[in-house]
Structure 1
């Protein structure tokens, strides 16, 4: 590998090879890049969504409600199964979306202690615009990969996720 192609992770692993040759730090070439890539992609998604006045986490919840189908309502537990945030963060996020009038909260007909979250008309309009922006931004983010590379990367990431999530 030429010096021009080296990145921070190459340097870190090289430094560890010198300082602790007894350790194999090569897995960090993958893990470190995935972590860095996650931050870059989240920042890019938030920038793309800013014109809709929502954040990536907002989009995650709104999109989950939207793709659930009519009447676009779910319980907080159902939302938690589909998004990547903690239950405490979910409560704060639902409160924020409620204040923005993108969702409403209503008692669950089967259990009044549970407050379902549902999309308002404004919420449907916002998510329908935002998801188009998000899908275009995501496509741009993988634009340097051909179809075969996209499929391979998707399968490898799915394999890692499945293994580590079990």
Structure 2
């Protein structure tokens, strides 16, 4: 069954209609945003992850090397800076770093100014891989957004930023 009917409604419209029939007093308008955002994420994820896989990476590994790449020269950060940026546990980061180091995409070494501190640095191979994967990802994402005009994309980006900031300000998230 297609996500669109002849009236232009989508899966979320159908769900809301079913809930309206079953619980007519309940406001299901949040589903119009949150439900669609979730479905969009679930639909987009496999294609984006396939881009990373073509570069020999999973999404978490890409997150690490892209964070290092966009940090700018000399493309190095402390593990603490990395896991705070990526919002993952230090244990989760360690596992990713181990895989990336084994693949020759990063190296870890002591900081010159503080021998107790460790630095994670992108290798030349990691630099090239991060950039190539990111370029391909942006090409894919541009194609995925082709159903919206540039103006619509800009408007949606403004609204999504507003929602993201509101959620951050309110400490919203998992409960």
TM-score norm. by structure 1 comes to 0.89
CA RMSD of aligned residues (A): 2.0
Counterpart-to-counterpart distance in 1, 2:33 and 2:131: 34
Shift of the alpha carbon at 1:4? 4.8
- 2:172 alignment partner in structure 1: none
1:13 match: 16
How much has 1:107 moved relative to structure 2? Answer: 2.1
SS at match of 1:117: strand
Structure 1 counterpart of 2:173:
none
Secondary structure of the residue aligned to 2:120 is strand
- Summarize the alignment of residues 31-50 of structure 1 with structure 2, pairs less than 5 Å apart: 31-50=34-53
Give the distance between the partners of 2:90 and 2:38, measured in 1 at CA.
22
Shift of 1:159: 0.3
Residue of structure 1 equivalent to 2:54: 51
What is the match of residue 109 of structure 1? Answer: 112
Structure 2 spans left out of the alignment, 5+ residues: 170-175
- 1:26 alignment partner, one of 13, 29, 33: 29
CA separation in 1, counterparts of 2:166 and 2:10?
27
TM-score, structure 2 as length reference: 0.85
Residues 42, 56 of structure 1: 8 Å contact kept: no
Which of structures 1 and 2 has the larger relative contact order (alpha carbons within 8 angstroms, sep 6+)?
A: 1
1:87 positional shift: 3.6
Contact 1:13–1:25 under 8 Å retained in 2: yes
Aligned counterpart, 1:75: 78
Q: Which residue of structure 1 lines up, in the alignment, with residue 141 of structure 2?
A: 138
| Structure 1 residue 92, shift from structure 2 partner | 1.7
Return 5+ residue gaps in structure 1 as ranges. none
Check whether the contact 1:65–1:72 (CA below 8 A) recurs between aligned residues: yes
